[in-house]
Amino acid sequence: MNASLKEADPVCFDIRGKDTETALVGPITAQIIDADRLVRFDFKNGMPGWMMYRTALAGDSLYLPALKDWTIAFTWVYALTGGVRRTAITDELIGCAALDALSLLIYARPLTGYKQTAENIGTNHKTYWRLREAIYRRMQAGLGEYWLRLVMAYKQVEFIERKLNRKR
């Protein structure tokens, strides 16, 4: 690539301003709140999309305690409705798998190795891994869907605001 083009890129970015994704992971603005409101209006998958987005993508820690509680409750419901054999369900299995899945979602790494955790809590390592992965995959899919909808809604909010500002 031409050296002069490389030097021009940062200047162009400064002129254009932030892209949508960068704006969404920044401080909360009225536009972000309006975009979330639009998403919640027609997208209800039962997951705390706002909390997952602000924690995992924007790096906020405000929602972490509530997100931990939700993840543990979600893991309990998943396990009790056929996700795990009833005889294998323990408080330790649910708690560790839930928090490990949340760690994967937020930090892209588990708390510890799954075999070590399973051994420490007295559970089969395959059972632990399957439960953790099932919870993580569902949370990741829910966050991904919420994020796509939030980006589109944010662009819609920007469009409406530009349109209203032109009329003034």
Which residues, other chains included, contact 46 with Cβ-Cβ below 8 Å and sequence gap of 6+? none
Higher pLDDT, 165 or 114: 114
Q: Token pair for residue 88?
A: 């294998």
Residue 16 has pLDDT above 90, yes or no: no
Instruction: Work out the number of other CB atoms within 10 angstroms of the CB of residue 143.
Output: 20
Segment 102-126 shows an average pLDDT of 96
Q: What is the total residue count of the chain?
A: 168
Asked, for residue 63, whether it belongs to a domain, the answer is yes
Share of the chain above pLDDT 70, in %: 89
Instruction: Work out the number of other CB atoms within 10 angstroms of the CB of residue 89.
Output: 17
**Per-residue pLDDT, 14:** 52
Asked, for residue 6, whether it belongs to a domain, the answer is no
Q: What is the mean pLDDT of the chain?
A: 91
Provide the residue range defining the domain that includes 68.
50-167
Asked, for residue 140, whether it belongs to a domain, the answer is yes
pLDDT in tens, 49-108: 999 999 999 999 999 999 999 999 999 999 999 999 999 999 999 999 999 999 999 999
Asked, for residue 139, whether it belongs to a domain, the answer is yes
Q: Token pair for residue 149?
A: 């909808």
Asked, for residue 10, whether it belongs to a domain, the answer is no
Q: Token pair for residue 77?
A: 């419901």
Give me the number of domains the chain comprises.
Answer: 1
Asked, for residue 80, whether it belongs to a domain, the answer is yes
Asked, for residue 113, whether it belongs to a domain, the answer is yes
Using 50, 70 and 90 to split pLDDT, how confident is the model at 2? very low
**Per-residue pLDDT, 17:** 66
